[in-house]
Amino acid sequence: MSSQFRARIALVAVIIAFAIPVIIAKVVLDNHWYQGGVTNEGTMLVPPIELGDTLNQTLPAQWRIGYVVHGNCEAQCQQALYALNQTDIALGRESDRVQPIVVSSGDIEFSLEQVPMVQHLTNAELIDALADLPPHRIFISDPLGNVILHYETFADETAMRAEAKSMLSDLRKLLKLSKIG
């Protein structure tokens, strides 16, 4: 074989060595065989629910973890409120950056003395703005008025405790990365 032929084979081999991974990556991404790295444990709202300036001004200025109560506060609601209270306590020195809230259109049939960190807000407009959230969900809202994550609630204490740990993990990441609130 001539040296020119060997040089061409070497060039083609180098091009193939670099082209094959690119082609494989393109096929994998186009066919959605790869799930990108997700670090949040709650369900991200894409796009986030924007509360608007007027509603946002009626809320506490910090980050908010909240729950919407419609009527009776059954076992699932009580577990959610307890999780909000305990999450605020578990945040430690960061707890002043977060305000747990419960939103309702009237009185709640549950004594909020059992969850002293949770602030009760009576606001029908806020309930309407949060109508896109699935029912019985805890949500996280930033100080700018964007509801960005939500979490399922459970009547079972063990399951709710596990979900609260997930929420606490996400909230700590948000507070660490955030310069607002």
149 and 64 share one domain: yes
- Which stretches of the chain drop beneath a pLDDT of 50? none
134 and 168 share one domain: yes
2 and 73 share one domain: no
* pLDDT the model gives residue 38: 66
d(C-alpha 54, C-alpha 56), whole Å = 5
Give the domain range for residue 117: 43-177
- How many domains does the chain divide into? 2
53 and 126 share one domain: yes
Residue burial 121-157, b: 16+ Cβ < 10 Å; e: rest: bebeebbebbeebeebbbbbbbbebebbbbbbbbeee
